Structure formats: C-alpha cells, structure tokens
C-alpha cells in the first residue's frame, strides 16, 4: 500500500526547495528549554522590472514566519506545524507577487523553537527532535525581464531579535526596545543528518492553522493589588492581541487561565501536573510578557506560542485597560464547516455550541486532549471524537495528516504510541512500563481511517494507512496469544482454547475516568481490550475487502470471528449477562455487536437497569461516554437517551452548562458545586455526545460510504418540538428538518443529486426517495 505522502508528492515538495540550503543561527551558549530566543534571518535583494508572478516556499525546524518588505507573508500560523520531524516535514508555499516591488526588497524569516526543540507534553520535555533550530526557503519571481531566484544560503544574516523567549508551553516574551538594535551576523549552514534528508519533505493534506475568530472582553476587573482580570466569556485556544502597552520601559505580564478563585483572581491550581513520584507540581506556564518602547501603534501579538484560556491576568499596567485594546484570538486548524444542528431546546443547542468550541480548541494542527496542561495528540481522544467531528467539519485532510504522524511513530512491532506525534515523553524510572499500545487508544489506527472512509467515500485513506492498521492488529493479537492475566492463571494453570484470543495483559488505560471508578493498571480489563481487538480486526477485514485484498479480508475476518467467540465465552454467562457488569461494558458490547443475537434485547434491558440504579445517571468513562446515547437510541431506547442528555444533576452535561461551562470539561465536576475548578476545563471527548443530536435526533446516518446512500430517521423525544440538521457531503447537502405542531409530526428532507435516501418516520413507516426536497407528515 502507498504511504500517506506519496513518493510523487514528496518529490514535488523537495523540488520546491531545490537549490536552497538549510541555515541556522549561531548560538554561543546553551540555554535551557523554554528560555531560548527567537531569531531573525534577513536577505536584501533587488528586483528589476514588473513582477508578473512570485512564490515563496519554506519550512523550518521550529516555528517560522516570513515577512517581505515588512509585511507578513500569508495568514498561516504555527508553521510548519507538528509532525514526526525525522520522517515527515511539511513545506508551505505562498503567492507573494503583491508584496514585491521594483528595486530593493527584504525577505525576513522569524524562527523560534516550536515543537521541534521547545517544551512539549505535561512533563515539559524539550529538544524532542533536535537541539538546533533551522530554516530553509526559496523565492521565485518572474518579471517582464527575467526570473529571479532567491534561496537561503551563507549570504543570509541572522540575529536574536525582539522575541526574548518563545515556547509553546511556557509562553512568549517580547522586548520591543530591542527592535532593530541587535547586530547582524552571518547565518551558519546547517550540516546535521536531519537537514540532509530531503526525502521527508511533503505538502500537507490538511488545511492550515489560522486565526479563525476574535473575542472581545466580556468584563475587565481590577483587583486590590492592581492586577486586572480580563474575562473573554469563552474558553478557547490561542493568544491575545494587546494594543495598550504602557510607557517606554514598562513590562506587562499576561497570565492565561480557565478559572477564577473565590477572590476573583486567576487560579491555575486545577491544571497542576506532578511527575510521579515527586509531589511538587511543574509550572503551568501560559505566561506572556511584553516590554514597551513607548511608541504609539505598537501591538503585542505572541504568535510563537498558544494557550488555553478564558481569562487573562494583566500585571504591570498602571492605567485601566481599555476593553478595545485587548482581543482574544481563537487559533485552530481552519476546518471547513460541513454540519449544523439546532432545536427547540436552547440548552441542547448550547451544549452543541460548547462541544464545538471544545473540539476547535483541540484541533490546532493535531487533535489534542486539552490546549493548556498537556496539549498532546492523544490517540484515544480522537478515536472517540472522530465520528462526531465528521458531522461538524471537513476533517478528511486533517485526519490524514495526523494519521501520517501515527504511522511514522508506530513501533516496528506494530505497537501504536499513546500520543502522535510521539513527543514530550519523559523517561521515568519510577514507572517501569510504557503507556503505548493501550486498547482504545492504539485502536485509533483502525477506527479513525475507517470513519474517514465511511464519511467521505474515498479509498485513499485506507490505502495510505492499511499497513499501519494491519500491523496494529497483528501486534494486539500477538500480545493476546502470548500472555494471560494473573487472575486466569490462578483460575487454571492450563489456558482454555479460547484464551489465546483474549487480550488481557499489558498496560491499558481502560474505561478511564468512570465517575465511580478507581484506576488500577493491574486489574483485568480483558473485557475492554478484547472488545477493541475484535473491532479493529473487523475493520481491517472490511478495509482489505474494499481494497480488493481477498486474502487479507479472509484472514482478518477469521481472526475477528475467533476474538468475538472468545469474548462471548469468557464474558457472557449462562444467563446472558456480562461477567463484569457496568454501563460501559454493556454499551461497548452493543455498539461493537459483541453480544449474541439471542441476548441482545436482554443486554439493552440490563443497560437501562444499570442506568436506573444510578437514579438515571450515566456512569460510563472515557471510552464509552460518546457511545452511550447513540447506542441506546439505536437499540430502541431513545427515551432513556433523552433522559440522560437532559439530566441536570451531576454527573451530566447539563450540569456543565448550569455551572457556566463554555467548553466541555475533563471531569464531570470540572467546576464543583462550591465553584472550585478541577482538571482541564477544555477536554473535548465527552462532547462526542452531540453525534446523538445529528444521527438520532435529526436522524442523518450514512448507509453507504460517502453518503452515496443514507438514512434520515429522526427520533423525537425529550420534549423537543423541532430539530434541524444539515450535512454537506461530497455529493451535496443533506438536510433534515422536523417539527411537532398541533399533534402532527412533519419532516422535510433534502437529498443531494446522485444519492438515495431511506426516510424512516417515527411511526416506522419507510420511504425511499431520490434527489430533491421531500415532505412527510404523520400523526404525532
């Protein structure tokens, strides 16, 4: 199978920089992680004649910006983005014709550590891909007289500029009094093995990161000590733009956070991270500073870092901050919106809004878990949310880019890393095992590409990732065959025949963050891991069939059948109940089609009983919460799904709304009843619940890859009197709009050209319709 970045595409990217040389700054001292400056590279050149066309190609080991004649090139942020630099590095191209002028011109490149050698992950590890930043660029301009080619080489000059420090985790410090004061010196040619390898250069399939929206202060409060607290009214990922910098020589400090304490001051306590077994928390970071030069019109906008925040504490400004002088910039991958949802219930609509905000906060070049404490590309989080994301935005290119990193970092034995790209990993002797290869996390290698294929109908993603998918399943199946959990060894010295298909050893996160759960990595979670082995083996079999590999389809299909039979033999008792009962295990059993057909109805009933035993509250954890409501609805219990959706006591989504959430929380008690914050307040995985709104409330569901055929089967309930959802597919826009009025249910459906829809009314009556607008009415 071909790789994500094909040989041809990589050759084109390398060709775009042909003749250019990697250059680097001269660093005379070794500075610690997070305390390194940004560098400015410059080259003066002449242009004769009128410019007809001009393009700039560039990339870097670090984060770079380009300026032509003092004007910033393009609107992409955090370029070249986060990749597994040793194997893939993306090149950006810009049309710069409008920025060139006849006569003297200057091309300037600004370079900082970024992901390449800056601090990443909760442990704040630096130098993940190297110890030296570098940049490479090539400008080609065509005039009415000649072609001009400018490349990075030994003729360039470099200096440490006004960016005193820049780090994605810690923040950015700028001293504007240094502007144009530092002296230039010759740049150095980079001669390390990584810069010599041009085979890793490629063009990204994903949209770029951009400044997508701006948010103005909801309030500004001055505390007794002089600190000013800016509340933007929305938790987000990005930075602020500040125009009020104070008199010359004054330094302003901006600390970014998600919550306030009882005194109204910014608190970061809930984001504290400790390195086991050390009880002392690491600094949270998220602190920017600017030293003013007292020049009117100066603006501070730290584009070489990002933060997760709703509040900014401003220190050092004597005068009151003008609300018009500070703006929050929401920064994330500029995904094209494809889906919408609205209903008659304002709280449901608000839940949808905060879930989307949380998703976008964590879609900054790669899918992260949170935008403040860790900012890691956790595999489990995106595995959980990708189905929901596909109802909201065009995530095909975004996913393919991330899957490239996942494949790049897959181990030789097929094990999939805990995070991708795999950086910021601390070697801790107190933890004598790896977190990689966990069930439900590693299965992103199969579930994500399969969902992308189902949504967009393009086999390319399967062709690009099939080797990774198969290697992962081979790894998991191998671990299953070779190990036995201690509890089974104690039960019987000799394993039962089915046990070779039970995946019950190795590290697993399991059903992380169950409301009543206690994490114990030694416990038997074979019921979870084996379920995911079945799911992934099934996906690989189906993917092989799509790609025409009959042998692989047969082989992995047989493996899936054996794993399913083993799961049933081990985890379904004679009465049809699961041997390890929990809401999560029943949800997974039903969603993955693991239970025998003759006990499926009993499993649904038992799941509802477990929910009622919790006073109609959920007790699912990380892996199954997003599946809970869709699984209930798909199995005839949409009524219970609505009850859980609208439950207004903890744990519930509505409790988040009632306590002021503007993004989805990591913990159900992200803000407790006393107003105290806990854990991250911007963790999007629990927001996966809104797939229920699109797929069951509005009823839009693909029945063939790419929505060539689909169903519209709305399930009214929960007191809703109307709902509307749309989805722009590769064939056109699907629209489902229903309302209940005067004891009548009416549904209007729009079907794109070239597709077929099966419309199922709440009464069960079905209609098959082709392209066009269709209206259906029945008694409510």
Query: Which residues are identified as catalytic?
Result: 374, 666
In whole angstroms, give the CA distance from residue 749 to residue 757: 9
CB 239 within 8 A of CB 306: yes
**Residue 523 has which token pair?**
């416990």
Among residues 69, 90, 81, 72, the alpha carbon closest in space to that of 5 is found at 90
In whole angstroms, give the CA distance from residue 605 to residue 581: 13
Contacts of 95 by beta carbon, 8 Å cutoff, 6+ apart: 54, 55
Among residues 82, 114, 91, the alpha carbon closest in space to that of 405 is found at 82
Q: Which residue bears the tokens 């064939």?
A: 731
C-alpha distance from residue 670 to each of 86, 352, 460, 652, 653 (Å): 38, 18, 40, 11, 11
In whole angstroms, give the CA distance from residue 200 to residue 90: 8
CB atoms within 10 A of CB 121: 20
3-state secondary structure of 3: coil
3-state secondary structure of 578: strand
Among residues 282, 237, 291, 321, the alpha carbon closest in space to that of 120 is found at 282
CB 587 within 8 A of CB 628: yes
Residue 340 has, within 13 A of its CA and on its CB side, a CA count of 11
Beta-sheet pairing, 756-760 with 709-712 = parallel
Q: What is the DSSP string of 116-129?
A: HHS-BTTTTB--SS
CB 372 within 8 A of CB 286: yes
- What are 736's strand-pairing partners? 725, 749
38: left (phi > 0), else alpha (psi -120 to 50), else beta? beta
| Alpha-carbon radius of gyration of the chain | 27
CB 126 within 8 A of CB 30: no
Please confirm whether the linkage preceding 80 is cis (ω < 30° from 0).
yes
E strands, 588-703, are 700-702
Task: Please give the helix or strand (H or E) that residue 467 lies within, else none.
Answer: helix 460-482
C-alpha distance from residue 45 to each of 101, 151, 559 (Å): 11, 11, 64
Residues in the chain, total: 780
Task: Order the strands of the 63-68 sheet from edge to edge.
Answer: 71-72, 63-68, 103-112, 39-47, 157-160, 185-186
E strands, 12-133, are 23-24, 39-47, 51-61, 63-68, 71-72, 89-90, 92-95, 103-112
3-state secondary structure of 391: helix
């Amino acid at each position: 199978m071909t790789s994500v970045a094909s040989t041809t595409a990589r050759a084109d990217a390398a060709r775009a920089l042909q003749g250019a040389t990697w250059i680097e700054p001269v660093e005379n001292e070794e500075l610690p992680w997070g305390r390194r400056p940004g560098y400015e590279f410059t080259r003066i050149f002449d242009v004769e004649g009128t410019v007809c066309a001009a393009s700039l190609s560039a990339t870097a080991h670090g984060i770079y910006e380009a300026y032509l004649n003092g004007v910033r090139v393009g609107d992409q942020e955090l370029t070249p983005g986060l990749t597994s630099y040793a194997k893939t590095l993306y090149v950006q191209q810009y049309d710069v014709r409008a920025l060139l002028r006849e006569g003297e011109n200057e091309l300037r490149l600004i370079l900082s550590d970024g992901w390449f050698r800056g601090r990443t992950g909760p442990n704040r590890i630096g130098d993940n891909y190297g110890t030296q930043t570098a940049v490479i660029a090539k400008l080609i301009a065509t005039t009415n007289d000649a072609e001009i080619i400018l490349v990075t080489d030994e003729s360039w000059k470099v200096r440490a500029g006004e960016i005193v420090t820049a780090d994605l985790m810690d923040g950015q410090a700028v001293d504007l009094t240094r502007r144009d004061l530092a002296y230039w010196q010759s740049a150095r040619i980079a001669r390390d093995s990584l810069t010599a390898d041009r085979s890793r250069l490629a063009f990204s399939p994903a949209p770029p990161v951009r400044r997508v929206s701006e948010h103005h202060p909801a309030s500004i409060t001055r505390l007794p000590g002089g600190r000013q607290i800016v509340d933007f009214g929305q938790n987000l990922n990005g930075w602020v733009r500040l125009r009020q910098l104070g008199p010359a020589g004054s330094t302003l400090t901006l600390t970014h956070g998600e919550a306030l304490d009882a005194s109204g001051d910014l608190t970061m306590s809930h984001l504290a991270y400790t390195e086991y077994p050390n009880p002392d928390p690491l600094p949270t970071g998220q602190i920017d500073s600017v030293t003013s030069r007292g020049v009117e019109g100066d603006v501070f906008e730290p584009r070489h870092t990002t933060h997760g925040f709703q509040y900014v504490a401003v220190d050092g400004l004597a005068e009151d901050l003008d609300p018009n002088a500070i703006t929050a910039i929401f920064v994330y991958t500029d995904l094209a919106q494809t889906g919408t949802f609205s209903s008659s219930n304002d709280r449901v609509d608000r839940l949808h809004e905060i879930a989307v905000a949380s998703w976008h906060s964590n879609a900054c070049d790669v899918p992260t878990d949170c935008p403040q404490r860790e900012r890691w590309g956790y595999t489990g989080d995106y595995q959980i949310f990708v189905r929901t994301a596909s109802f909201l935005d065009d995530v095909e290119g975004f996913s393919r880019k991330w899957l490239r990193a996942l494949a790049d970092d897959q181990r030789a034995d097929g094990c999939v890393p805990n995070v991708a790209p795999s950086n910021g990993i601390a070697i801790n002797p107190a933890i004598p095992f790896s977190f990689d290869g966990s069930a439900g996390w590693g299965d992103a290698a199969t579930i994500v590409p399969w969902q992308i294929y189902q949504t967009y109908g393009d086999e390319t993603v399967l062709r690009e990732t099939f080797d990774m998918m198969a290697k992962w399943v081979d790894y998991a199946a191998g671990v299953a065959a070779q190990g036995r959990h201690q509890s089974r060894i104690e039960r019987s010295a000799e394993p039962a025949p089915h046990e070779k298909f039970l995946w019950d050893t190795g590290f697993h996160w399991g059903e992380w963050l169950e409301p009543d759960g206690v994490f114990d990595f030694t416990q038997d979670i074979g019921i979870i891991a084996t379920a995911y082995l079945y799911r992934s083996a099934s996906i690989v079999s189906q993917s092989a069939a799509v790609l025409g590999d009959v042998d692989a389809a047969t082989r992995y299909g047989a493996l899936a059948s054996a794993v399913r039979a083993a799961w049933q033999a081990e985890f379904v008792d004679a009465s049809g109940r699961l041997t390890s009962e929990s809401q999560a295990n029943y949800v997974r059993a039903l969603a993955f089609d693991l239970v025998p057909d003759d006990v499926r109805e009993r499993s649904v009933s038992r799941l509802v009983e477990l929910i009622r035993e919790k006073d109609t509250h959920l007790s699912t954890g990380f892996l199954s919460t997003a599946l809970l409501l869709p699984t209930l609805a798909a199995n005839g219990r949409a009524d219970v799904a609505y009850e859980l959706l609208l439950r207004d006591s903890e744990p519930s989504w509505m409790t988040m709304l009632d306590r002021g959430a503007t993004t989805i929380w990591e913990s159900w008690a992200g803000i407790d009843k006393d107003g105290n914050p806990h854990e991250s307040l911007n963790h999007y995985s629990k927001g996966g619940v809104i797939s229920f709104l699109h797929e069951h409330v509005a009823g839009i569901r693909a029945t063939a890859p790419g929505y060539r055929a689909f169903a519209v089967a709305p399930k009214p309930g929960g007191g809703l009197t109307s709902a509307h959802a749309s989805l722009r597919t590769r064939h056109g826009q699907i629209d489902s709009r229903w309302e209940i009025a005067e004891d009548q249910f009416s549904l209007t459906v729009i079907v794109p050209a070239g597709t077929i829809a099966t419309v199922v009314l709440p009464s069960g009556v079905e209609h098959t319709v082709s392209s066009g607008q269709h209206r259906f009415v029945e008694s409510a």
